[in-house]
């Protein structure tokens, strides 16, 4: 069983449509794939239909933008009820924050002398409800300002760069119980990526587990072999489940091919058994 529990489609900042992503997962030899678009469930129906068609397992999920101690944390939520009103409300607020940020980024870039417009960005984010910096990056590439997404982030869109603008994110400690109340399973994405190690240490993770956190994503490209082995031990001590995933974004992220990391079938079974528990 090859199980990949973290991917992005054009419903957020990936470049494959949800159906194409599922077909690519089948072609990559996966047995189960989760779709975890940023802050959006809009790709689920199409992906589920495609999974039925090609005969692989499908897990509906999300990667929710949250903050913890003033730092950004991505929270994976598997199998929540997408109509649960508090969840819908929380996601609407995050999406509104994304939508409001685009004009701020465009204005900042224009002040920096780059002739980009909101329409340029809208052309790239067309099918997505979750407008994001990757769409601005794609617009910058099309305008010839950047070579690829990575260069656009490094030169212009990362924190501290001329085109950076902040946006609203939910509180992680509110979001974990909310996801659980919606029948979902909460797992911290790339827990120790980008300086996460000091933020999400054992004590912090123990506290989050007590609030309902079910697991941590351990096998992820942002984690070194040493990080993975330490995180795995930590998860065992805290009785958290462990996942592994690609964080595939289609052509939007290099070195994140489908199935590059996978989740152990036993851990996957445990995740499924937790879903719906609070509903
Ligand atoms: P946003 O959610 O709009 O703040 O943008 C963050 C997203 O940008 C993340 O989900 C990543 O997928 C993507 N991202 C961040 N840095 C890079 C990079 N250097 N190259 C490509 N994508 C990136
Ligand atoms: Fe992304
Ligand atoms: Fe992420
Ligand atoms: Zn992701």
CA of 38 to the centre of ligand 2 (A): 7
Quick check: CB of 256 below 6 Å from ligand 1? no
Could you tell me whether strands 185-188 and 215-219 are parallel, antiparallel, or unpaired per DSSP bridges? parallel
Average pLDDT over residues 95-123: 97
CA of 86 to the centre of ligand 4 (A): 23
* pLDDT value, residue 195: 78
* pLDDT value, residue 278: 59
- Report pLDDT digits (tens) over 196-210: 889 999 999 999 999
Q: How far apart are CA 165 and CA 159, in angstroms?
A: 8
User: pLDDT tier at 127 (50, 70, 90 boundaries)?
Assistant: confident
User: pLDDT tier at 194 (50, 70, 90 boundaries)?
Assistant: confident
Quick check: CB of 6 below 6 Å from ligand 1? no
Give nearest CA residue, ligand 1 atom 9: 134
| pLDDT of 279 strictly over 60 | no
With H, G, I as helix, E, B as strand and everything else as coil, classify residue 243.
Answer: strand
Mutate to test the pocket of ligand 1, among 7, 11, 13 (most ligand atoms within 8 A of CB): 13
Question: Which residues make up the environment of ion ligand 3, defined by Cβ < 5 Å?
Answer: 74, 189
Q: What percent of the chain has pLDDT over 70?
A: 99
* pLDDT value, residue 196: 83
- In a 10 Å sphere around its CB, with 0-12 CB exposed, 13-18 middle and 19+ buried, how is residue 31 labelled? middle
Q: What percent of the chain has pLDDT over 90?
A: 96
> Measured over all CA atoms, what is the biggest interatomic distance in the chain, rounded to whole angstroms?
53
Quick check: CB of 253 below 6 Å from ligand 1? yes
- Report pLDDT digits (tens) over 51-80: 999 999 999 999 999 999 999 999 999 999
Nearest listed ligand to the Cα of residue 10 = 2
- In a 10 Å sphere around its CB, with 0-12 CB exposed, 13-18 middle and 19+ buried, how is residue 33 labelled? buried
Atom of ligand 1 nearest to the CA of 135: 3
Mutate to test the pocket of ligand 1, among 14, 108, 134 (most ligand atoms within 8 A of CB): 134
- Report pLDDT digits (tens) over 216-269: 999 999 999 999 999 999 999 999 999 999 999 999 999 999 999 999 999 999
- Report pLDDT digits (tens) over 133-170: 999 999 999 999 999 999 999 999 999 999 999 999 99
CA of 274 to the centre of ligand 2 (A): 26
Beta bridge partners of 63: 38, 76
* pLDDT value, residue 206: 98
Q: Is the full-model pTM beyond 0.95? A: yes
Beta bridge partners of 77: 62, 186
Q: What is the mean pLDDT of the chain?
A: 97
């Amino acid at each position: 069983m090859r199980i990949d529990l973290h991917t992005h489609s054009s419903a957020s900042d990936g470049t494959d449509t949800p159906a194409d992503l599922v077909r690519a997962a089948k072609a990559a030899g996966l047995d189960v794939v989760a779709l975890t678009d940023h802050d959006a469930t809009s790709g689920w129906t199409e992906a589920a239909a495609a999974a039925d068609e090609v005969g692989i397992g499908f897990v509906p999920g999300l990667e929710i933008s949250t903050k913890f101690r003033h730092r950004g944390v991505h929270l994976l939520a598997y199998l929540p009820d997408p109509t649960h009103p508090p969840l819908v409300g929380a996601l609407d607020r995050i999406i509104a924050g994304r939508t409001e940020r685009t004009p701020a980024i465009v204005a900042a870039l224009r002040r920096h002398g780059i002739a980009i417009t909101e329409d340029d960005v809208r052309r790239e984010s067309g099918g997505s409800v979750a407008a994001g910096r990757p769409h601005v990056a794609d617009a910058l590439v099309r305008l010839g300002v950047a070579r690829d997404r990575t260069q656009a982030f490094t030169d212009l869109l990362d924190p501290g760069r001329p085109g950076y603008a902040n946006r609203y994110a939910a509180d992680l400690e509110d979001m974990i119980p909310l996801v659980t109340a919606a029948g979902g399973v909460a797992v911290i994405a790339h827990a120790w990526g980008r300086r996460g190690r000091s933020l999400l240490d054992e004590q912090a993770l123990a506290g989050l587990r007590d609030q309902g956190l079910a697991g941590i994503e351990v096998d992820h490209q942002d984690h070194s072999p040493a990080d993975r082995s330490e995180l795995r031990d930590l998860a065992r001590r805290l009785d958290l489940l462990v996942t592994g995933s690609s964080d595939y974004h289609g052509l939007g992220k290099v070195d994140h091919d489908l199935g590059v990391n996978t989740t152990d079938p036993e851990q996957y079974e445990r995740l499924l058994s937790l879903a719906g528990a609070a509903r």
